[in-house]
Amino acid sequence: MRLISQLSLLLTGTFAALCVQAGEVKVYVAASLTNAVTEIANLYQKQYPKTKVVPVYAASSTLAKQIVAGAPSDIFFSADQDWMSYLLQKQEVSTQYVKPLLRNQLVLISPKNLNIKVQTNSHFAFAQAFSGKLCTGQMESVPVGKYAKQSLIKLNWLNSLQGRIVGTDDVRAALTFVERGECNVGIVYKTDALVSHKVKIIGVLPDNSHDAVIYPVALTKAGEQNPEAQQFYRFMSHSVQALAIFQHYGFSINR
């Protein structure tokens, strides 16, 4: 019995050592950050080859719900403050580790081959300016869709678009629909429009028509216990290299 106990302790210790050696950091990231965070993770792994950074990309709403349901994650990077507040309420993150890191803008896009003229004011008959559908994130949950709904209401455009709005699972899905021509207009973040060669920006929605587009990042409760997660969190949110990459993709740093 004593031998079995000692063997069990030995195996447990070996497993723990392997886990530390593996050095995995799981990062739940809003879809609009895909390009920037992928580049930052690759850069980090070149500098720290023993650490494996595993990004999971989806809508902030989806990721936050998965974390509450028990999905293993070390860092949560949201496209709005509401879903970070949700995790704070659920005690999945701590206030001291929440950093409102980035800002973005909300833009109107169309396929490059279309010639749609838009004025972003309440006097403009937006619904008559284009045919077909408008794509954005699901308006009740996905951050870009929530911002879009605020703007459409503020500009008095929402009612005239009834039956023509397609809500997608995340902002990258909305971008893809416009790229394919399945939607003639989309509402996405400026940064998403900039990474596509198939769409063009036809208007910028006024900042005062929606809540500020702020991206907070935080260590989860599991991440607080993971030294390598803490290190990647600091690198992503404070290093000159990471901040330069975010700016390269069109984000602004929240000062």
Same domain, 95 and 68: yes
pLDDT in tens, 132-188: 999 999 999 999 999 999 999 999 999 999 999 999 999 999 999 999 999 999 999
pLDDT of residue 255: 84
User: What pLDDT sits at residue 10?
Assistant: 39
Best CA proximity match to 108, nearest among 208, 199, 209: 199
Averaged pLDDT score across all residues of the chain = 92
Helix orientation angle between 227-238 and 240-248, rounded to the nearest 10 degrees: 60
User: Which amino acid, residue 179?
Assistant: E
**What predicted TM-score, i.e. pTM, was given to this entire model?**
0.88
Pairing relation of β-strands 93-103 and 252-253?
antiparallel
What strand order describes the sheet that includes 185-189?
Answer: 165-168, 134-137, 185-189, 106-111, 199-204
- pLDDT tens per residue across span 180-219: 999 999 999 999 999 999 999 999 999 999 999 999 999 9
171 is in an annotated binding site: yes
98 among annotated binding-site residues? no
| Beta bridge pairs of residue 252 | 103
Statement to judge: residues 187 and 242 lie in one domain: no
**Is 249 marked as a binding-site residue?**
no
CA atoms of 251 and 222, how far apart (whole Å) = 28
Please state, in angstroms and as integers, the Cα–Cα distance from residue 166 to each residue in 83, 162, 185, 222, 248, following that order. Answer: 22, 10, 10, 36, 30
d(CA 53, CA 232) in angstroms, rounded, equals 8
Question: What pLDDT score does 22 carry?
Answer: 56
Q: Are residues 66 and 128 in the same domain?
A: no
- Give yes or no for residue 15 having a pLDDT over 50: no
Q: For the chain, how many structural domains are there in total?
A: 2
Print the domain residue range for 40: 2-103+214-253
- Specify whether 91 is located in the same domain as 163: no
48 backbone dihedrals φ, ψ, rounded to 5° = -130, 75
Q: In this structure, are residues 213 and 171 in contact, taking their beta carbons and an 8 Å threshold? A: no
Give the burial class of 202: count Cβ atoms within 10 A of its Cβ; 0-12 exposed, 13-18 middle, 19 or more buried.
Answer: buried
Please tell me whether residues 116 and 204 are part of one structural domain: yes
Q: 181's torsion region: left (phi>0), alpha (psi -120 to 50) or beta?
A: left
**For residue 17, what is the domain's CATH number?**
3.40.190.10
The response to whether 20 counts as a known ligand-binding position is no
Same domain? 78 vs 146: no
Domain match, 6 and 52 both: yes
Name which of 82, 178, 188, 179 is nearest 136 in CA terms: 188
Whether residues 66 and 188 fall in one domain: no
Contact 55, 38 (CB under 8 A): yes
Token reading at 97: 């580790």
How far is Cα 232 from Cα 255, in angstroms, rounded to an integer?
A: 20
123 and 92 part of one domain: no
83 and 36 both lie in a single domain: yes
Residues 85 and 172 in one domain: no
**What pLDDT shows up at residue 20?**
37
One domain, residues 99 and 219: yes
Assess whether pLDDT exceeds 60 at residue 2: no
pLDDT at residue 8 in the model = 42
φ and ψ of 108, to 5 deg: -95, 135
pLDDT score for 39 = 98
